[in-house]
Amino acid sequence: AQSVTQLDSQVPVFEEAPVELRCNYSSSVSVYLFWYVQYPNQGLQLLLKYLSGSTLVKGINGFEAEFNKSQTSFHLRKPSVHISDTAEYFCAVSEDSWGKLQFGAGTQVVVTP
């Protein structure tokens, strides 16, 4: 069975500072990895995904993530955040083609001036 751990429940960060959100997963098979963002009172929006190939994945809004198979991690980074990046971020993993995603508990990013 798969599981996803997001190590930080909340990450406060100043505007224009870098941010890293940590995600670790466990699975006995190959997985597909995703990061989603949820703005207040909205649905989830895909930031980026890793299916195969290059381990460094670039997404929307300047975010990127690196897949590390040996450490079973998929950490999300952004070199310089904006106030508008304040949101909840979810890491998710899927083992199959049916799209059954296992989500982490989420990390709330709060960007202050």
Partner 1 sequence: DTAVSQTPKYLVTQMGNDKSIKCEQNLGHDTMYWYKQDSKKFLKIMFSYNNKELIINETVPNRFSPKSPDKAHLNLHINSLELGDSAVYFCASRYQGNNSPLHFGNGTRLTVT
Span from 21-29, 60-68, 70-78, 87-95 in contact with partner 1 (CB under 8 A): 87-95
> Which pairs with CB-CB distance under 8 Å and at least 24 residues apart come from 93-96?
93/2, 93/4, 93/25, 93/27, 93/31, 93/32, 93/33, 93/34, 94/2, 94/31, 94/32, 94/33, 94/34, 95/2, 95/27, 95/29, 95/30, 95/31, 95/32
Question: Which x/- pattern over 27-46 shows residues binding partner 1 (rule: CB under 8 A)?
Answer: -----x-x-x-x--xxxxxx
* Binding region for partner 1 (CB under 8 A): 32, 34, 36, 38, 41-46, 49, 51, 88, 90, 94, 97-101, 103, 105-106
